[in-house]
Structure 1
């Protein structure tokens, strides 16, 4: 896996990535409240709990679940869950990818559309996780699904752009976005095929990826080409 640092991809239509920065700030502020002692039960009330969400939709009635979300209506957790993170590494990883790749996706569709795009990707990611694990009592938090949508959109827009990354955590390389992000995408699909997928919400990542790939086609500005059409790469 690669750690992205910077892409050689200047903004073209917007002067500044206000929404990207705003989303990063919002996630950091929420995490600060978590670190200041927000109770685990309170954090869980903002998380998606698939068994509770499915029960609320009238499909099943699970009996005994460790987390009961009383502070936030279940359907609203499809929005709230993406602003909470399990630890600093969870937060830092998501925000780093959003910082490096979010600005150009925002540039391709404009500020308001990008905000809607990001939230829709997160919602669809949460629904995908719930659909694949409908009986799970485990809470889901994190921006990974929404960020996966940003990754898919960036791949659709700029696969040939060069990205500075750290390989093996310490080797700096300048590689194409297709390689850097393609490795990440393939990893998500491989992981869901394993018999034991662990605590990572791989299905949420895949849901976000599919949402991002579809939504960028319909939400980008008409004058924005896909796949770096007409771009010369140095």
Structure 2
């Protein structure tokens, strides 16, 4: 079960959300264009390596200072599925959060949540030499903000039963979708070895918590917490019966 859209239209154009998606996609195409070997090196040069950040190891000919990789790592991804999943979540939830903050504040919020997520992971494995890449930490902050702003918004999810028989979509309140997502991240983090390469679940947790804590400082004063979406209005004159 995973989200594919939400029923929470707000007036405005989420330019920063679109720009962040475009930037991540552009960086991914750049990664894909690198020759064999250079693509792997790029992870070590632009990904966040906790051991490098805390000075226990070094990377030869590093193009960025260690603190700079905290930012650059947010725009790199380990594969197409990694990129697609992150961009889908940003597309669904980022627009509403951006419109609730304004463009500049949303961009700052996104970066700060990404930093918080990255540092959460780094402090838990300070000597690790495995590069951390991906926008999911920053996007987790967006999810934490969305949960507090629009817990009653309807999120359309795709359900894939096992064994695969029939695909179904249905709407679930954001409180359940995002609350369950957060619980899964915590349980997955507790059940996995953070020292091994894989999903950085604690970065997700750190970003989500940061988003929830910071939303009060970044949202516009006229935007309430726990906002109730306006009911959808149907124009009967434009509707057609089942005979069409």
What is the CA-CA distance between 1:128 and the residue it aligns to? 0.7
Task: Tell me, yes or no, if structure 1 residue 139 matches structure 2 residue 138.
Answer: no
Once the 2 structures are TM-superposed, how far is the Cα of residue 196 of structure 1 from its aligned partner?
A: 3.1
CA distance in 1, matches of 2:229, 2:43: 45
1:42-53 aligned within 5 A: 42-53=42-53
**Secondary structure of 1:32's aligned partner:** helix
Contact (CA 8 Å) 2:8, 2:229: kept in 1 or not?
Answer: no
Pick from 25, 28, 40 the counterpart of residue 28 of structure 1.
25
**Aligned residue number for residue 92 of structure 2:** 100
Partner in structure 2 of residue 58 of structure 1:
none
1:17 counterpart (14, 38, 41):
14
- Distance across 2 between alignment mates of 1:152 and 1:146: 10
Distance 1:11 1:210 in 2: 25
SS in 1 for 2:183: helix
Is 1:162 the counterpart of 2:161 in the alignment? no
C-alpha separation in 2, matches of 1:207 and 1:115: 18
* Residue number in structure 2 paired with 1:173: 170
Deviation, structure 1 residue 6: 1.4
2-structure distance, mates of 1:45, 1:3: 32
Alignment of 1:69-84 (within 5 A): 70-84=62-76
- Runs of 4+ residues over 4 Å off in structure 1: 230-234
Deviations 1:198-233, CA, capped at 9 Å, x for gaps:
5111111111011100111111011111112x5555
Instruction: Give matches, 1:137-216, under 5 Å.
Output: 137-168=129-160, 170-196=167-193, 199-216=198-215
- Larger Cα-atom Rg: 2
Q: 1:134 to 1:69 in 2, by over 3 A?
A: farther
Deviations 1:132-190 (A, max 9, x none): 11111100000010010011000010010111110227321111111111111100111
Judged with a 3 Å threshold, the aligned counterparts in structure 2 of structure 1 residues 214 and 69 are, in CA distance, closer, same or farther, namely farther
CA contact (8 A) 2:53 2:66 kept: yes
Structure-1-length-normalised TM-score: 0.90
| Cα distance in 1 for residues equivalent to 2:192 and 2:229 | 42
- Report the aligned-residue RMSD: 1.7
Unaligned runs of 5+ in 2: 162-166, 233-244
Mark the CA change 1:195 to 1:188 in structure 2 (over 3 Å): closer, same or farther: closer
Paired with 2:30 and 2:147, the residues of 1 have a C-alpha distance of 33
| CA distance in structure 2 between the aligned counterparts of 1:181 and 1:24, rounded to whole angstroms | 21
